[in-house]
Structure 1
Amino acid sequence: MIKSLVTGGAGFIGSNLVDKLLSIGHSVVCVDNEFADNEMFYWNPDAINVKADITNYEEIKNLFNSVDYVFHMAAESRIGPAILNPIKAAEINILGTNIVLQCSRESNVKRVIYSSTSSGYGSNPIPNVETQPDDCLNPYSVSKISAEKICKMYSDMYKLPTIIFRYFNVYGERAPSRGQYAPVIGIFLRQKKAGQKLTVVGDGEQRRDFIYVGDVVEANIKAATKDIDKKFFGEVFNVGSGENISINEIAQMIDNNIEHIPPREGEARITLANIEKIRNLFDWSPKMNLKDWVKPYLI
């Protein structure tokens, strides 16, 4: 039986991946410390569930024994909290990733899929393509892009196969909706349900590339299991829809009861993924359309 380990496996994207891996017959080790400011954590009872911290080498190293694939999703995953506590963001995202990679190396893991972020593109012109230079505008993106470079080093120096995914704005089932830094679609749906005004940051004309969590899960599984040339290990791949939409347009899809709140520091004005690289190598393309996904929630 194939054995996979998912860090951050009780969170939004991680729990969706755990469920899918179990459904296709993997044995799954789910590691999470419930550090994220989520209203719920999702532990699948069919997984081997371990509450542990990825920054503690001694605590997690034995969990990697006999593991085939590692999906590293645990992180300080939001820009706002990272700005407030850059030391903690660096500890989790840089040190934690290094420890996960070292544990994977010592256990001869077949492949590590690292979940990174499109925020590393910063103010680069769109569409964002993997060959663009880094432009990190905040402590979150600095810490995540630094960890990308550690992944590449482990592939180059230690021959540990790694694949780096830069997610754009992920939405879907189980997305957190608490706090101003939660993903915007989850916030809007919660506010509508509560009869509150939808809080649009800034003028709302900033545009984002939104990608469905189920499509992200599929990308991870393909990247782990597809036979590819080893020259691609340590490389970055965009995971987005290849389309973008303004925050105002999303708000108007959900409710016209809107109020604007002050803009935030350290965020790009526009994001848009070029997804040719992942489409060509992993035969992956997004299947879910944002407007179709939102419709059932508006009834």
Structure 2
Amino acid sequence: MKKTSIVTGGAGFIGSHMVDYLISKGHFVIIIDNLSSGKKKNIQKHLKNKKAFLINCQIEHFKISQIRVKKIEFIFHFAGIGSIVPSITDPKKYIKTNVTGTLNILEQTKYIKYKKFVYAASSSCYGIAKTPTSEHHRISTVYPYSLSKFMGEQLCVHWNSVYKLPICSIRIFNAYGSRISFDGGYGAMFPVFMKQILKKRPLTIVGDGKQKRDFIHVTDLVKAFYCVAKSKKIGEIYNVGTGKPISVIKIAKILSDKIEFIQKRPGEPDITHANIKKITKHTKWRPKINMQNGIKDMVKNIDNWKNAPIWNKHKIARATKKWFEYLK
């Protein structure tokens, strides 16, 4: 009999890759997604082949009665709002989905049998951190998105401690790869760049571009989630990145020779750099995809972003006006 796992947000960027990987490992997957930012086309082949089943609902409204399986292998919780900048103007929306939604999935699955629940947390909880950043670093939630993701993680930690549920959390650094979403307003660098390349526009670089980010390819990332799910460790928090930060300007120059610089945003670190010693010690996981190959994969699939909005410095200034106002 096939193992059955649940992936919330399973039609989205990371979630759909998680679904792909689980199915490659012989799992049947129950996907919970309201398709607000996730795309049905990301999972269509699995639905057609009856290797997955979609429950179309908001995560805060999900009921366990919507599934009939009594025994679940793993639960991967990706459902949530991921765009950082818009959280400054609509924090209530982020708390509702990222916190209340997490509470609901924890409560709805509390009385079914499962081997591991893995929460998708964010490294943004560290704020402007000392690097390389370990899991013991102080928490500094600078904007509503980071607060909402950390509150969701705290619920998971509490449910593990009080209800003895087998839960772990992964603090994702800077995920990238095919299917990365562009529907959440101005935010993630790569969708902005891909559309600018398609339209032959200059790439907009925040600040001088010397800021570095610890980018982790989505293929490596979902394997980390799977390794943590398979591990006997419970109640653990793990950083996941490559441990090899790269500057934004270096990435931009790989992609294009047309570049323009825009004002640096307050509240954003000059570098993100994951200390990944803990996850590599507790599991067999190692990141394998380097930035050059990761970028080649994205460029090969660049048409994924043909319907993305085109951003220029004027539109970005309007979209980030409140960010500058509140975080200056």
Alignment TM-score > 0.5, same fold: yes
Query: Counterpart of 1:264 in structure 2: which amino acid?
Result: R
User: Within 2, Cα distance between the matches of 1:265 and 1:29?
Assistant: 40
Structure 1 partner of 2:309: none
- Residues 124 and 2 (structure 1 numbering): CA distance in 2 closer, same or farther, change over 3 Å? same
Query: Counterpart of 1:111 in structure 2: which amino acid?
Result: K
Cα distance, 1:176 vs. partner? 2.3
Cα distance, 1:263 vs. partner? 2.8
Instruction: Select the residue among 130, 135, 141 that pairs with 2:146.
Output: 141
Conservation of the 8 A alpha-carbon contact between 1:119 and 1:268: no
The size of the alignment, in residue pairs, is: 293
- Residues 214 and 23 (structure 1 numbering): CA distance in 2 closer, same or farther, change over 3 Å? same
Query: Counterpart of 2:149 in structure 1: which amino acid?
Result: K
Query: Counterpart of 2:25 in structure 1: which amino acid?
Result: I
The SS at the match of 2:157 is helix
Q: State the Cα RMSD in Å.
A: 1.9
Query: Counterpart of 2:292 in structure 1: which amino acid?
Result: K
The SS at the match of 2:128 is coil
The SS at the match of 1:134 is coil
Instruction: Select the residue among 75, 87, 109 that pairs with 2:80.
Output: 75
The SS at the match of 2:7 is strand
Cα distance, 1:42 vs. partner? 1.7
User: Within 2, Cα distance between the matches of 1:52 and 1:69?
Assistant: 20
Matches within 5 A, 1:273-284: 273-284=274-285
Q: Unaligned regions of 5+ residues in structure 1, if any?
A: none
Instruction: Select the residue among 202, 218, 225 that pairs with 2:223.
Output: 218
User: Within 2, Cα distance between the matches of 1:197 and 1:174?
Assistant: 22
Structure 2 partner of 1:259: 260
- Residues 160 and 296 (structure 1 numbering): CA distance in 2 closer, same or farther, change over 3 Å? closer
Q: Unaligned regions of 5+ residues in structure 2, if any?
A: 301-328
The SS at the match of 1:9 is coil
Matches within 5 A, 1:160-239: 160-177=165-182, 181-226=186-231, 228-229=232-233, 233-239=234-240
Bigger Cα displacement from structure 2, 217-226 vs 275-284: 217-226
The SS at the match of 2:42 is coil
Conservation of the 8 A alpha-carbon contact between 2:9 and 2:15: yes
Structure 1 partner of 2:42: 42
Structure 2 partner of 1:125: 130
Bigger Cα displacement from structure 2, 164-173 vs 256-265: 256-265
% same residue: 37
Query: Counterpart of 1:150 in structure 2: which amino acid?
Result: L
- Residues 29 and 164 (structure 1 numbering): CA distance in 2 closer, same or farther, change over 3 Å? same
User: Within 1, Cα distance between the matches of 2:186 and 2:40?
Assistant: 16
- TM-score for both structures, normalised by structure 2: 0.84
User: Within 2, Cα distance between the matches of 1:107 and 1:297?
Assistant: 39
Instruction: Please give the per-residue CA displacement for 1:155-180, whole angstroms capped at 9, x wherever unaligned.
Output: 11101111100001111111124576
